[in-house]
């Protein structure tokens, strides 16, 4: 590997991607008709163990379609974790509903189930859980709360292809699940998304809304207002090739994360998400939080690493600090999400990394931590 620069993520197009895309071009089936869309949907349903998979043009539209199909509309509230990518909250907003934020669990960084019930009101329609960085949320507890209050549960599994909870894969753990195939995700199509469910009526509604709302039996008859959120045949061809090697993609990431855990175990103050007995982590991005006394210097550590050829990325800003959402959340405190967001760094995690790349990243990371720590002590003594 070129040592001058290690990106935080990179797609690995090492299977039949080129062959299938060439097939699309040769056959001139390049838009949303053509065989690869259906083949990709079937293969993805099989990969998850779900009955239905409906493709769409990205993970954000997958969330929007799922929420619409579940009947979310104006005046409704949907509970979402504050520590997530903005698309989770935005999809709720697109429906005219209000996202209600819940803090993270200090160990898993996922939605803290013990805080959910206090946020339920008569307007609450459901809960969107996010499997953050690929670690499945605590589904049984959340589903039990949902059952008691008659709420739906959606998985935002954009970062968690192939992760498992009690032996079942993401995509089958709630009423409906949403995936992203953006270029940095575990399985990619460039841009792309998928909705999976075991409920045939829900799958039909998602498919109808994706295709302008057209009646499935009567062409150009539109009983509802839908959207054009279709996936094209070209990215579906890439996705099918990626899925043929899904075990390789997911296995390599787990190997890379294992090397990080080994190398960083002895570094004081670092924490990360651990697998529990009943959970298999998909390892989208190996993310660590720095020791508390260094968290103010997180950005400095990241820029030092960048200068030395290792790209990193910060944990997302939590939703409750972003301009569109901060007012509605101003009366609440989210101490765990704040801490993880301020001190969290994602290290390069992708299927093409070798052990010596991980060693190299860790050596640079540890050196930058030491340099910054020294400077901190000096500035405090001065
Ligand atoms: C990537 C991501 C999305 C959005 O997916 P896009 O394909 O980029 O629209 C949604 N939720 C989470 C948690 C993500 O990481």
Report the 3 state secondary structure along 66-111: HHHHCCCCCCCEEEEECCCCHHHHHHHHHCCCEEEEECECCCCCCE
User: What was the pLDDT predicted at 187?
Assistant: 98
Report the nearest atom of ligand 1 relative to the CA of 185. 1
User: What was the pLDDT predicted at 382?
Assistant: 67
Report whether 236 contacts 32 (CB < 8 A): no
Closest-CA residue, ligand 1 atom 6, reads 59
Is the pTM higher than 0.95?
yes
**Which among 304, 306, 332 has a CA at the least distance from the CA of 318?**
332
As averages over each run of 10 residues, the pLDDT of the chain (382 residues) reads: 82 97 94 92 98 98 98 98 98 98 97 98 98 98 98 98 98 98 98 98 98 95 97 98 97 98 95 93 98 93 97 98 94 96 98 97 97 82 70
Closest-CA residue, ligand 1 atom 2, reads 158
State the CB neighbour count (10 A cutoff) for residue 71: 12
- DSSP H/E element including 90: helix 86-94
User: What was the pLDDT predicted at 378?
Assistant: 76
C-alpha angle 223-228-230 in degrees, rounded to nearest 5: 115
User: What was the pLDDT predicted at 347?
Assistant: 98
Ligand 1: residues with CB < 6 A are: 58-60, 84-85, 87-88, 130, 156, 158-159, 180, 182, 193
Distance, first Cα to last Cα, the chain = 42
User: What was the pLDDT predicted at 38?
Assistant: 97
Report the nearest atom of ligand 1 relative to the CA of 284. 15
- DSSP H/E element including 47: helix 35-48
User: What was the pLDDT predicted at 2?
Assistant: 53
| Distance from residue 41's CA to the centre of ligand 1 (Å) | 18
Report the nearest atom of ligand 1 relative to the CA of 193. 7
Exposed e or buried b per residue across 118-149, where buried means at least 16 C-beta atoms within 10 angstroms of its C-beta: eebeeebbbbbbbbbbbbbbbbeebbebbeee
Residue corresponding to tokens 């090492």: 14
Gap between the Cα atoms of 293 and 290, Å rounded: 8
Residue to mutate, 156, 157, 184, 235, ligand 1, most ligand atoms under 8 Å from C-beta: 156
Closest-CA residue, ligand 1 atom 7, reads 59
User: What was the pLDDT predicted at 17?
Assistant: 98
């Amino acid at each position: 590997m070129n040592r001058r620069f290690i990106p935080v993520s990179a797609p690995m197009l090492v299977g039949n991607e080129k062959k299938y895309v060439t097939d699309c071009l040769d056959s001139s089936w390049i838009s949303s008709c053509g065989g690869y869309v259906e083949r990709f949907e079937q293969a993805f349903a099989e990969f998850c163990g779900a009955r239905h998979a409906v493709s769409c043009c990205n993970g954000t539209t997958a969330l929007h379609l799922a929420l619409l199909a579940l009947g979310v509309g104006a005046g409704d509230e949907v509970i979402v974790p504050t520590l997530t990518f903005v698309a989770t909250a935005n999809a709720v907003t697109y429906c005219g509903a209000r996202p209600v934020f819940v803090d993270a669990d200090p160990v898993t960084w996922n939605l803290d189930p013990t805080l959910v019930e206090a946020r339920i009101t008569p307007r609450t329609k459901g809960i969107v859980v996010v499997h953050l960085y690929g670690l499945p949320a605590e589904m049984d507890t959340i589903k039990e709360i949902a059952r008691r209050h008659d709420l739906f549960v959606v998985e935002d599994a954009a970062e968690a292809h192939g992760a498992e909870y009690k032996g079942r894969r993401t995509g089958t753990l709630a009423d409906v699940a949403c995936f992203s195939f953006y270029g940095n995700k575990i399985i990619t199509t460039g841009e792309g998304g998928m909705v999976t469910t075991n409920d045939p009526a829900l799958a039909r509604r998602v498919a109808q809304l994706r295709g302008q709302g057209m009646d499935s039996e009567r062409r150009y008859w539109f009983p509802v207002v839908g959207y054009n959120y279709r996936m094209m045949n070209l990215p579906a061809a890439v996705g099918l090739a990626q899925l043929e090697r899904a075990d390789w993609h997911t296995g390599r990431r787990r190997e890379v994360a294992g090397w990080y855990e080994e190398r960083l175990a002895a570094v004081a103050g670092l924490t990360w998400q651990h697998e529990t007995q009943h959970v298999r982590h998909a390892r989208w991005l190996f993310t660590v939080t720095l020791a508390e006394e260094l968290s103010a210097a997180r950005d400095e550590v990241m820029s030092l690493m960048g200068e030395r050829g290792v790209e990193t990325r910060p944990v997302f800003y939590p939703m409750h600090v972003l301009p569109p959402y901060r007012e509605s959340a101003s009366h609440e405190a989210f101490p765990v999400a704040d801490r993880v967001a301020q001190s969290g760094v994602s290290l390069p995690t992708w299927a093409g990394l070798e052990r010596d790349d991980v060693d190299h990243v860790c050596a640079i990371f540890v050196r930058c931590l030491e340099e910054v720590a020294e400077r901190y002590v000096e500035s405090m003594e001065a």
